[in-house]
Amino acid sequence: MSREVFCQLTAGDANVLMSMLEQADQPAPFSVLLREKLSHSNVYFREDIPANVVTIDTQVVYTVNGSSVGPHVLVRNADGGLPSFALSVHSMRGLALLGLAVGEKVEISARDGRSEMLSVERVLFQPEAEARLKQTRQRTAEPVDQAPQVVSFRPRPRKAVVSCDDDPGPSAA
């Protein structure tokens, strides 16, 4: 059975997920979702990922069963000891949101066994989009010389060379 692509990842995000896959101590629902993400995603260079997609280090507002949550920053750190504004990609919600675009939904199993419907409402900050914006600003901020560049193609007058040397040089041979 083939499944359509359901998320978009940067190459760096895909590498993080592959390293997480090598860890053997994951609960079954998490492991299944992780394998699904890696198997059914489009991978982009960081310059090409759309600005409305949740990537690692993205600040996102999302809903859980219709209730708005966030803004949270999706981080690659482990789940324990994070500040309240951070959401780990090692958590079920963080993994589920990674790679989704604004308006997309995903259903996951919650810790207590019930299902949760997550939906991305807004991407407030995406590092890849910010990098593209800075690069565009730098290109437009470069000073442009408005003076016309004139190149003269008229032959230059040759200066007469007067030599006091009697040696005719190699051309006389």
Burial 15-40 (b: 16+ CB within 10 A, else e): ebbeebeeeeeeeeebeebbebbbee
Domain positions in the chain are 7-127
- At residue 10, the pLDDT reads 92
Report which of residues 8 and 70 the model is more confident about: 8
Q: Is the domain defined by 7-127 classed in CATH 3.40.50.10140?
A: no
Backbone torsions φ then ψ of 86, nearest 5 degrees: -100, 145
Residues 6+ apart with CB under 8 A from 79: 88, 90, 91
pLDDT of residue 26: 73
Q: What percent of the chain has pLDDT over 70?
A: 79
Question: Do 97 and 41 form a contact (C-beta atoms < 8 A)?
Answer: no
pLDDT of residue 32: 87
- Indicate the range of 10-14, 136-140, 159-163 predicted with least confidence: 159-163
Dihedral, 4, 20, 124, 138 alpha carbons, nearest 10 = -100
What letter does residue 24 receive in the DSSP assignment?
S
Of 45, 29, 39, 48, residue with least CA distance to 7: 39
In the predicted structure, residue 168 carries a pLDDT above the cut 70: no
Instruction: List pLDDT tens digits, range 67-111.
Output: 998 899 999 887 778 888 999 998 889 999 999 999 999 988 877
Check whether 2 has a pLDDT greater than 50. Answer: no
What are the pLDDT digits (tens) for 23-57?
767 778 888 888 888 988 889 998 889 989 999 99
Predicted TM-score (pTM) of this structure: 0.72
Q: How far apart are CA 54 and CA 125, in angstroms?
A: 9
